[in-house]
Structures are given as structure tokens and as C-alpha cells.
Structure 1
Amino acid sequence: MPTHARIDTHQHIVPPAYAQWLDSRGISAGGLPIPAWSAASAIALMDDNSIATGIVSVSTPGVHLGDDIEARRKAREVNEFAAEVVKDRPDRFGFFATLTLPDVDGAIAEAEYALETLHADGIVLLANVRGTYLGDPSFDPLMEALDARSAVVFEHPSTLPAEPVPGIPPYSADFLLDSTRAAINLAHNGVLDRCPNLKIISSHGGGFIPYAAERFAAVCSPEGTREAGLNNLRRFYFDTALTASANALPSLLAFADPTHVTFGSDWPYAPAARSTQFTRNLDAYELDPSARHAVDRGNAEALFPRLATG
């Protein structure tokens, strides 16, 4: 694998037992069917797209379906499954550990176990859990615990706390609003100020953040000023999953701190053909060599030093 090959910070893992658990309850992923997953198929996708390493995560709906005890058991199950995948191929995989929100005590305990015992590369958190968004004060103890460990947090959207519009599945548009709401709430409620060691990746290019940052900047800081709000929003990292297009990339790259953009495939929830098309779009976009290296892997190497090639 060439040293310049990509690091994918938005790639999913679907442990078979987890898929069966969701299927037994008739649960989808924001309107998407739960896909099949194997390490071999993941590596095939990565090889086809010059991806050296995928940092995998469990997608929505996560593991908390209403019962704290069940959620703690399922979180441990999926995290230990992911850790074994990484143990077998540490060059090709890393993982973001799944937690148990809104069970904060369980989430703190699982974060400690995942980061210190399983050596997870970071944590995945859903933008909202049954209407409670990241940034809500009830989640502060978890965010403070993650800040104490200088954790990388991968924010992933979930279903909005509202009925979907008929014919428009949540993943198509609502997911973008969900990530945007989470980022605004984290900034507005001062979490970014109180937890300066957190590195938070906002999915799918940050939803609407790059495009509409000026519109809501004033509510993105506790003091309510435009400049502080914009500075807060630029503290997020943004992945390119399903965002590498001629329309979206200019806005993302114009807004984001250039050291805060990472590559994302969104496989397997984005099928291989669709994921590959967005990768090809990124390849075709005019970037100078240093910026391309930064997006492909340099920025991710700074987040995950174990993957640095020198």
C-alpha cells in the first residue's frame, strides 16, 4: 500500500450479530437497509479507492433502543468485535467506539474501557438521541471525560426527532440537518470552550455548516457574536463522505480550516459504486499537492498518530 494512500475517517462496520439484532426489531438506519459487512469486502473497497486504513464505526441507530442494560451489553459486544478486526489488520483498520447515550454513566464507563483497554482510535456519538442533541448539559459529564483523554469524537447523524416527510427518507436530507443542529448546539452551549482538547469530526462535510455558517454564526457561541461563532465552527473537523462534488467541495474547502478536512467513504451504507463515484469526484477536483495530501491522509495522521508514515 503506497504511503500516500488515504485514511478513511467515515467508514462503517456492521457486526453480524448487531445486524441480526436490528433486523429482529425491524429497525433500519435512517431509512437505509442494514448492509452486509465483512473485513474482506471492506478491504476490497479500500483497495479500489486507494484507502490505506478505514477508521470504522457503527452507524445509526447505535445500541440504545430504550434499555440501559441492553445498550451496555451491545456496546461492549460491538466494540470488542471491532477491536478484534483491528487486531487482525491494524494497518487496514481502526475504530471509533460505540457508547450508550442517553445512559451517561454507561457511556463514560464504556469510553474508558474502549480507549484504555481496547485501544479505540476514538468515539462515535450520534448527533441526537431521541431528541437530546450533543451539547445538551445532561451530556456534559461524558464530554468532560472525553476531553480529559483528548479524544477524537466522530459525530454521525441520526433520525430527526420529527416525522419524516412522506417519500423523503431521513438519510437523504434530514441527516444533514441533524449534524448541523449538533454542531450549533455544541458551540452555542459552550462545550467547545469547556472541552478544548476534543477533536470533533462532523459528518458529511458538516451538513449545512460551510454553506450557511454566516447565517447562524451569532448563535454558535455563548456570547452570541458572529466572529466567535465562526471561530467555533471552524474548530470542527469535516469529512468528505458523500460531499465530494463540484457544488459542495468549494464551500467546504472555502470555509474549513485546511488542516480540518478528512477523507470519508461512507461505505457500506453508501454502496461501493456510489462511494467510489464521490472518490473519483474528489480525485478530479483541482487541488495543489499539499492540500490533496492533507485531505487524503495528512490531516488524519495528525488525529491518529499511530497511522503516520513519517
Structure 2
Amino acid sequence: MPDTSDDDLHAPATAPWSRAIDVHHHILPEFYLDELARLGVATILPGVDRPTWSARGSLAMMDRHGIRAAVVSVWPGVPATLEPKPAARFARRVNEYLAELVAAHPGRFGAFATLPFPHPDLVLAEFEYAVDVLGLDGVGLVSNYGGLYVGDRSMDPLFAAAAHRRTPLFVHPTVPPSTGQPDFGLPASLYEFPFETVRVAAQLLYNQTLERYPELPVILPHGGGGVPFYAGRLACGGLISAPLADRLPEDPVGSLRRLYVDIAMAGDPHALAALRSFAPADRILVGSDFPLMPEHYIRDTAQQVVDQGGLSTEERHRLEHANAEALFPRLLPRHNERRDGSEHGHGHRHGKDV
């Protein structure tokens, strides 16, 4: 049977991509939002309009933009304030939904699992179930869980398990844990998120996480946030405090350049210049930030990257899909055979929009 990778996509001639894999694609199932509301979580992000989401809507957007497949995440995942058992139940329900979504649309979706932080034993148990049993493609994390940042050494058991399987970790920023901080009447995502990503990168660097777990793929969204601009500054710890020199890897900036980044919200000339200077061609991935960013902005960002990113033919090939295929083997074209009998793998099972 034919696959859904190239000719079968039928992307419009105006699409910025032709067969891309989008690694930064949010989903907001109704059961997830209902459960958050039941728990008293009024919004996933204060000050940000809540978009509607459906699998049909994601697939339609993907087809309009020339996106062959998307690796989706339920953001921000399980609230870190939950007690262990409710957190574990919530994470399991999310992950089983993700597995159903992937199975219902072969070749179109992969998924990042949600884990029940900050409960370490449950985190490892759910990681093993989500990856080894459900077959999910990676793990979606937020930058901090009530002040516990992803780069902390207490995360080492998860890092070790993920490195052993070469399971990608997608680390999306969230609201910082500080209280009483002036917000200027603006949502934290507007200006704090890039600094959250820098905080994670600083921990990974000074804990030498990537040196201790060289097989661990870590993806930072939004062009790496502030990391491309701050990489050289982050390497200066030993100049500021001599003992910090012993905590740095031999090549600090080179260590940071091993991180993967996506292009979401990084298409303006200044951000794009920093991104292209910092990230090697084999570390850049397509990311849309759909549906939290409007579709016209997503299209403009992609077109700016294509038109102004100085990409060679080989670099565009890597960006569109080859880099992601190396991280997510499920999405290699040979695995994308249609198994549900629908024209593009868009079928729905049991009448559910999954």
C-alpha cells in the first residue's frame, strides 16, 4: 500500500513545506480540559486565549501547510500540585489517549508522553509504560514543576532511562515559580518563556547532563528560546566564580549546540540569525506551536525560515523531515503505510475524534 509521506499529502502549492514533520504541535482534548476544570485549573496559561482543538483541525492545518506528520503533546500536562495517585491516573489517561490518536491516524501523528511529576517513582513507572508498552515516541516536559527544573540532578534516573532508549525529551517552557513578581499586565509566555528555556539549559550545562548521557536527545522549542543569544555568556561561569570552571564541560558552547531546537516563533530576522549561527543543521526541527499560535503566523514563520534562513538543499531536507525521522523512527516513510483504509490516514474509530 502507498505511504502518506510525499505524493499522497497533496499540499497546496502555496504551502511553506512539502513533507515536513512538526515536533511542536499541541493538542487539547476535551476530557483533559474538563479534568483541569474539575481540579480548579481555570486556564492552561493565564492571559492567553484558549484555542479550540480537534484531530480533524490538526490534520487539516497540517495538510494546508505541507506537514506530513506531527509529534503532539498535551501541554502543560499533569498539574504538579496533584497527589501521587491522582497524578498517576491523570497521566495514564492522557497517555492512553495519545496512543489511541497515533493508532487512529497511522503516519500522521507521533506523541510525547505526559509524566506525573514531581513524584519520581511514578514518573519512571509511567515513562516505562508509555514508551515500552504504549509505544509513544518521546516525553513532553515543562521547564519546571513547582520550582523543580528539568536540568536538576534529581532528574538523572529519567535521563538515564531515556538515554538508554534514545527517547527524545521535549522541554516546553512554562510559568516560572516565583511569587510576587511584577507581570506588567502581560502574560508570562510573552517574555518569560525564553528565559525559562535558558534556565533549563544552564542546569544541563553545569550538571554536564549531555556529557553524562550522550545518547539523550533534548529538544528546546521556540528556536531554543534565549539560548542562542546566551550560550557564550553561559560558558563564562568560571570567569565569574573559579569553582564553576570545574562544573563546565570541556567545550561549553559545543555542549549546548548538541541540543535540538525547533523553529516555532523564530522566523523574524533577528531570532533567525541567532538560531542559524548557533544551531548545527542536524539539530534544527520544524515546529508550529499550533493551535496556541494562529495559523497565519505559523505560515509566515515557516516562510521566513525558508526564504531568509540561507538553507541549502541538504539543510532544508534535514529541517523538513530527516532530522525528525532520525529521532522518531515511527515517522520514517516506510512505517507510514495506511492501515485504516482512509485516503490519507484520517479515519476515525468508534466515532471518537482521536
Instruction: Establish whether TM, by shorter chain, passes 0.5.
Output: yes
Amino acid at match of 2:164: A
- Conserved in 2, the CA contact under 8 Å of 1:125 and 1:154? yes
> Residues 300, 71 of structure 1: CA spacing in aligned structure 2 closer, same or farther, 3 A cutoff?
same
- Conserved in 2, the CA contact under 8 Å of 1:154 and 1:202? yes
Residue 176 of structure 1 pairs with residue 191 of structure 2: no
Give the corresponding residue for 1:189.
207
Deviations 1:186-223 (A, max 9, x none): 12112212211110001111111111211112349873
Q: 1:155 aligns with which of 154, 158, 171?
A: 171
- Conserved in 1, the CA contact under 8 Å of 2:92 and 2:126? yes
> Residues 72, 226 of structure 1: CA spacing in aligned structure 2 closer, same or farther, 3 A cutoff?
closer
Q: 1:208 aligns with which of 209, 226, 230?
A: 226
- Conserved in 2, the CA contact under 8 Å of 1:202 and 1:238? yes
Amino acid at match of 1:22: L
Give the corresponding residue for 2:284.
261
> Residues 61, 91 of structure 1: CA spacing in aligned structure 2 closer, same or farther, 3 A cutoff?
closer
Residue 288 of structure 1 pairs with residue 304 of structure 2: no
- Conserved in 1, the CA contact under 8 Å of 2:193 and 2:225? yes
**Does 3-12 or 223-232 show the bigger shift?**
223-232
How far apart are 1:170 and its partner, in Å?
0.9
Which fold has the larger relative contact order, with Cα–Cα distance below 8 Å and residues 6 or more apart in sequence? 2
- Conserved in 2, the CA contact under 8 Å of 1:150 and 1:199? yes
- The CA distance in 1 between the partners of 2:225 and 2:237, in whole Å, is 17
Give the corresponding residue for 2:97.
81
Give the corresponding residue for 2:64.
48
Q: 2:36 aligns with which of 4, 10, 22?
A: 22
Residue 96 of structure 1 pairs with residue 112 of structure 2: yes
Secondary structure of 2:251 counterpart: helix
TM-score normalised by the chain length of structure 1: 0.94
Instruction: Compute the RMSD of aligned alpha carbons.
Output: 1.9
How far apart are 1:16 and its partner, in Å?
1.1
How far apart are 1:138 and its partner, in Å?
2.0
- The CA distance in 1 between the partners of 2:145 and 2:248, in whole Å, is 28
> Residues 26, 203 of structure 1: CA spacing in aligned structure 2 closer, same or farther, 3 A cutoff?
same
Deviations 1:89-130 (A, max 9, x none): 121100000011211111100110010111101111111111
Deviations 1:21-66 (A, max 9, x none): 2234243233224432111000011011110000000112544333
- Conserved in 2, the CA contact under 8 Å of 1:179 and 1:202? yes
Give the corresponding residue for 1:143.
159
Identify unmatched segments of 5+ residues in structure 1.
Answer: none
Identity of matched residues, %? 36
- The CA distance in 2 between the partners of 1:98 and 1:61, in whole Å, is 6
Residue 308 of structure 1 pairs with residue 332 of structure 2: yes
Identify unmatched segments of 5+ residues in structure 2.
Answer: 7-17, 239-243, 335-354
- Conserved in 1, the CA contact under 8 Å of 2:139 and 2:169? yes
How far apart are 1:225 and its partner, in Å?
5.0
Secondary structure of 1:247 counterpart: helix
How far apart are 1:224 and its partner, in Å?
4.6
- Conserved in 1, the CA contact under 8 Å of 2:112 and 2:170? yes
Highest Rg: 1 or 2?
2
> Residues 222, 270 of structure 1: CA spacing in aligned structure 2 closer, same or farther, 3 A cutoff?
farther
**Does 282-291 or 79-88 show the bigger shift?**
282-291
How far apart are 1:306 and its partner, in Å?
2.5
